[in-house]
Amino acid sequence: MHTTILIITNVQNDDAFNRMSNCFGNILKTVNQYAPHSYEVMFVDNNSNDKFKGWLKWIQGCFASTKVIYNNEDLKFCKAANQGFTQAINFSDYVIILDSNTLPKDGWLFPMVQIAESDPKIAIVGAKIIKPGTNEVIGSGCLLKNGELIDPYLNDDKFNIPRKLTEERLIVDTCMLFKSSILKEFGLIKDDESKEDYMIRLRKAGYKVVYTPTTEIEYFGEREIGNISEKYDLNIEMPKVAVIMPAYNSSQFIGKSIDSILAQSYRNFKLFIMDDYSTDNTKDVLKKYKEKDVRLFLILLDSNGGTPKARNAGINTILWEGNLEGFKYIFFLDSDDLWNKNYLEKMVIQLESENDVGMMYSLNDKKFEDGSVAVPYGFPDNVTIFDKDLMIKQNYISPSFVGVTVETIKKIGKFCEDLSGIEDWDLWSRIVMLELVIKKNLTC
């Protein structure tokens, strides 16, 4: 798959020059994260100043994957975009229009291509546009409500999770992926139509325009994104998640582990902590946390039975009388491990998009208390997808970074309490043997 990253420029001052050079440098650093990509960067320059034109000639000499189209006037967005499209669709599978006032975040390209590949009817994929240095959404695309364009996630840094991995809408032009085959078949943007009108025409023709939050783009520009007239609550039904944490004499670290769960951007979860008959003050720490947050459920075991037994006690509680609380996914976290703030959000989004996946796991690092890397840990460098044969030989999947569906647990059973130390490997192996799909999440 080959992708052209199309950037339309009209740089007239040093501030715009600096933003554009930062954007280009960040593309080079992030474009191949999580999966290798064949790509090029194409500039359509709408008569920028001489300093910027000189910079464009310089990077053309330094980077063979860079092309430039020079205009003697400002052709505006649609005409300039069509110039780039006309050239790129002949040799690229995808064309991404990226605003020059942006910084793409880690691994931004892979999810967009992955989603576009998932459905032949997807014509355009948009990204989550966020305020620099924050998780605050400043653009995710618009829905039409009562004749007005509404962005349901504007100014939201918590509940920006669609029902599925993608949601159909009119997405913002800060970062837009176009499928070249559909551009050839359907045609380019008309000179006298808005981008929104073009997307509406696509949708009326049976194509899809979708938003995905797994690609995050920081926007540094000054214009308002989305032309939002009011805040709109979608009342999205987010799948309910159960988080299981076994604990034994964990008072030194467990507070940080709990904090990393309570700080998750994904909020529809309940945390089950099983104290495995601790002899230190772990129970006191847990009781204080329970008073602070109603989503924490504490189970005090009457004897020390080991980690697999403690995890099973949590599973038994979740599945009590047939899963009355309606949990869809179960995640595990040990009491000395931490999650990144968006971990659950990204994992749930990916699980929701893959109906045949019974289990998903993610990258992780092993570190000292000061944050330095202890030893190389986690995945072999060359494993970009789940490797069944490798997992049978070597358990490289950490239980603290795994999510499974409740239906999977019902099918395969719980952890084997006689296999303490390798009980997680045993469970993953049983999932494989029943041919339930395991997938590696490349966005976490």
Q: Which of 98-102, 203-207, 391-395 has the lowest mean pLDDT?
A: 391-395
Q: What is the structure's pLDDT at 35? A: 59
Q: What is the structure's pLDDT at 162? A: 59
Q: What is the structure's pLDDT at 226? A: 47
Read off the pLDDT of each residue in 216-229 and give the average, rounded to a whole number.
Answer: 68
Q: What is the structure's pLDDT at 11? A: 95
In this structure, how many other beta carbons lie within 10 angstroms of the beta carbon of residue 400? 20
Residue 256, pLDDT > 90, answer yes
Q: Is 343 helix (H, G, I), strand (E, B) or coil?
A: helix
Q: Which of 272-276, 297-301, 344-348, 391-395 has the lowest mean pLDDT?
A: 391-395
Per-residue confidence band for 306, with pLDDT thresholds at 50, 70 and 90: very high
Residue 356, pLDDT > 70, answer yes
Residue 214, pLDDT > 90, answer no
- 404-438 pLDDT, tens digit per residue, is 999 999 999 999 999 999 999 999 999 988 877 77
Residue 237, pLDDT > 70, answer no
In this structure, how many other beta carbons lie within 10 angstroms of the beta carbon of residue 47? 16
Give the mean pLDDT of the chain: 85
Q: What is the structure's pLDDT at 228? A: 34
Q: What is the structure's pLDDT at 48? A: 96
Q: Which of 21-30, 33-42, 221-230, 315-324 has the lowest mean pLDDT?
A: 221-230
Q: What is the structure's pLDDT at 233? A: 31
Residue 212, pLDDT > 90, answer no
Q: What is the structure's pLDDT at 65? A: 87
CA nearest 254: which of 278, 282, 276, 295? 282
Alpha-helix residue ranges (DSSP H) falling in 294-393: 307-318, 343-353, 388-393
Q: Is 289 helix (H, G, I), strand (E, B) or coil?
A: helix
Domains 2-219 and 240-441 share a fold: yes
Q: Is 376 helix (H, G, I), strand (E, B) or coil?
A: coil
Residue 345, pLDDT > 90, answer no
CA distance 296 to 299: 10
Verdict on whether the full-model pTM lies above 0.85: no
Residue 381, pLDDT > 80, answer no
- Domain boundaries of the chain, sorted by first residue: 2-219, 240-441
- 111-169 pLDDT, tens digit per residue, is 899 889 988 999 999 999 999 988 888 888 887 655 556 777 777 665 555 555 566 77
43 near 56, Cβ under 8 Å?
yes
CA distance 170 to 184: 20
CATH number for region 240-441: 3.90.550.10
Instruction: Name the burial class of residue 146, with classes exposed (0-12), middle (13-18) and buried (19+) by CB atoms within 10 angstroms of its CB.
Output: exposed
Q: What's domain 2-219's superfamily in CATH?
A: Spore Coat Polysaccharide Biosynthesis Protein SpsA; Chain A (3.90.550.10)
Per-residue confidence band for 234, with pLDDT thresholds at 50, 70 and 90: very low
3-state helix/strand/coil string of 366-391 = CECCCCCECCCCCCCCCCCCCCHHHH
